Every structure is written in C-alpha cells, then in structure tokens.
Amino acid sequence: MANQKRVLLKLDFRQPEAFLGPLLEGLNQREFFVASEDLLPPGTRVTLEILLPLDFPPLKLKGQVEWHTRLPHVRRRRPGMGIRFEPPSPIDLELLETIGRRLKKEGTF
C-alpha cells in the first residue's frame, strides 16, 4: 500500500543546459532520478516542484517514488530515488514549449 503523505521535492532546472537536457529527457520518460541522501520509501507520493529558467513560475507535477538506491536490486552509485510522475497537463506542456522558444530566441543555448 502506498504511503499516504505527499512530500514536496524541489528540482532546479533554471540553467538552460539543465532545462534542455535532463528536464526534457525526464519529461519524455515520465521519470526523474532525484539525487539525495534522504531516501523516501517506494510508494511515497510526492509533488515535484520544478524551478524553470527565465523567471517563469515553477511547474508542479504529482508522482510517486518507484525505487531508491538502497534497494538490493538497484545498481547505482549515486544515492537517490526514481520518481515516476503523472503526465504534464496541456497547459504545462505549452509553458515548456514557450520557454524553449524563448531560450532559443535569446541565444541562451
């Protein structure tokens, strides 16, 4: 049974390189690896607050911890958790596209 508390995790993608690489890749896969020493048990419900570039408001996604690096079957050196999240809404996807267009227009990357 899933843990009923919802934990807020803040992810910083304000740098254009982070926005273009890890953020967009994670959104496509609907999973993020969150590096952390403070591991939550699988099933814990979380809200990912994603800090975005260009002073846009944070994007919030709901998800849940699927695994962490202290589980015996997980082979990762960096401590952390795999968070699977619900798909972004159409409004959130439009926001992400707008940010990408602005970054390209400004030549930030």
This prediction has a pTM of 0.78
Query: With a cut of 50, which residues of the chain have pLDDT below it?
Result: 1
Distance CA 52, CA 103 (A): 11
Report which DSSP code applies to 54. Answer: T
pLDDT at 109: 54
- pLDDT digit string (tens) for 21-48? 777 778 778 888 888 889 999 999 999 9
Classify domain 6-105 at the CATH superfamily level. predicted glycosyltransferase like domains (2.40.10.220)
Distance CA 31, CA 7 (A): 16
Q: Where are the domains of the chain?
A: 6-105
pLDDT at 49: 92
- Residue 11: other Cβ atoms inside 10 A: 19
